[in-house]
Amino acid sequence: MTREELNQEKQQQIINEEKRQVRKKVIIFIVKITFILIFLFLGFYTYITYVSTNSFIIKEKRIISKKIPDSFKGLKIIHFSDLHYGGTMLFEDLEKIIKEINDRNPDLVVFTGDLIDQDYDIKSKEQEKLIELLKKIKATLGKYAVMGEQDGENFTTIFNQSDFYILNNDYDLIYKEKTQPILLVGLNSLLKDQRDIEKSYSYFNEASHNSEIFTISLLHEPDSVSDILDKYNTDLFLAGHSHNGNIRIPYIGALKKVDGAKEFDQEFYQINESKLYISSGLGTNGAGFRLFCRPSINFFRLSQK
């Protein structure tokens, strides 16, 4: 073999080695990128499935109205909704929630529907435990609830035995110290076609009604608001159902809107003189994900100024 042939063979070996090193680096790079993507996906999935669905917050708001009676100044209202027990929400989560509620010494506690997850078959012992926990919620002026589209007989049993008053297309006058009350109205589910607006607001058809009474309405699906305001004045609406979208994209909003919350799905709306607050809920429905939309409890204080 000539010197020239030896040099060519040597050069070819060098070229082959360089190609081998390049292939090795490419394979290592692809493996690294694959592991990074898997790690990021698992981290993202863990966050939206476990972290974001369980790290609930308290949202504090002040409700200001000249119609609020003097005796109700500083009244504290806790609003929670869409527990969907048996999904991402279990007993230990509910115990934490109840502690946060009681730590604030509320005057009124209201729940706006969807107690048990629709895909969960609650056992009798679990139902008894749920009653025991909900019964621990303390409120000086009362505990109230309205039904959502997923609520059935167990809703009525659990809340009745937990000392909640179910407003099933009904109202109640809330008194504190003096004789001038506030009005609390509760509607049944829009999606189940069980709401009765006229019956719920029948107070305003009574001869002795006070047209200037401060009125709070509890409803599950917020899209009922438009139908109500066509006929009856309401100062404060408290609703659930939308979960504020579960998954929200910054500057865009909810990724998906659900029936009953097509028109109203965000946290707050000012509609003429009426305020609408929609809970982001405590549990989740559907796939069980949350992103940029943490579970929450609403905490309101009434004020005249």
Q: What is the pLDDT of residues 67-97, one digit of tens each?
A: 999 999 999 999 999 999 988 888 999 999 9
Distance (Å, rounded) from C-alpha 271 to C-alpha 278? 13
> 94 with 111: CB under 8 angstroms?
no
Residues 233 and 298 in one domain: yes
Residue 167's φ and ψ, nearest 5 degrees, are -90, 95
pLDDT value, residue 102: 98
Whether residues 95 and 172 share a domain: the answer is yes
Can you tell me whether residue 294 is helix, strand or coil?
coil
Do 50 and 87 fall within a single domain?
Answer: no
Q: What is the DSSP letter of 261?
A: -
Task: Supply the range of the domain harboring residue 19.
Answer: 1-54
Please give the residue that has the higher pLDDT: either 64 or 245. 64
Rounded CA-CA distance 100/220 in Å is: 23
Single pTM value for the model: 0.87
Domain end (from 32, 54, 76): 54
pLDDT tens per residue across span 55-70: 789 999 999 999 999 9
- Look up residue 10 and give its two tokens: 């040597």
Mean pLDDT of 118-127: 91
Q: What is the pLDDT of residue 264?
A: 95
The last residue of one of the domains, among 18, 34, 54, is 54
pLDDT of 90: 87
Nearest residue to 236 (alpha-carbon basis) of 65, 46, 19, 57: 65
As a whole number of angstroms, the distance between CA 267 and CA 194 comes to 25
Of the candidate ranges 103-112, 160-169, 248-257, 294-303, the one whose mean pLDDT is the lowest: 248-257
Residue 154: C-alpha distances to residues 125, 158, 159, 290 (Å): 13, 6, 8, 27
- What distance separates the 2 farthest-apart alpha carbons in the chain? 120
- Do residues 32 and 75 share a domain? no
CATH number for the domain harbouring residue 266: 3.60.21.10
Q: Both 20 and 65 in a single domain?
A: no
* DSSP bridge partners of 247: 291
Q: Do residue 27 and residue 152 come from a single domain? A: no
Does residue 221 contact residue 260 with C-beta atoms inside 8 Å? Answer: yes
Whether the pLDDT of residue 52 is over 70: the answer is no
Q: Provide, rounded to the nearest whole percent, the portion of the chain with pLDDT above 90.
A: 64
pLDDT digits (tens, 9 = 90+) for 172-196: 999 988 779 999 999 999 999 999 9
What pLDDT sits at residue 8?
67
Same domain, 90 and 219: yes
Of 28-32, 114-118, 261-265, 291-295, least confident by mean pLDDT is 28-32
Q: Mean pLDDT throughout 201-207?
A: 91
Indicate if 75 and 7 belong to the same structural domain.
no
Give 63's strand partners: 302
User: Among 10, 37, 54, which residue terminates a domain?
Assistant: 54
Note the pLDDT of residue 238. Answer: 98
Which of the pair, 149 or 289, is modelled with greater confidence?
149
Residues 234, 138, single domain; the answer is: yes
Please indicate, yes or no, whether residues 124 and 173 belong to a single structural domain of this protein.
Answer: yes
Element housing 276 (H / E): strand 274-278
Asked whether residue 138 falls in the same domain as residue 280, the answer is yes
- Examine the domain organization and report whether 101 and 27 are in the same domain: no
pLDDT(39) > 80: no
Token pair of 57, please? 């917050």
Domain count, the chain: 2
Angle at 214 between CA 193 and CA 296, to 5 degrees: 65
Half-sphere exposure of 85 (CA within 13 A, CB side): 24
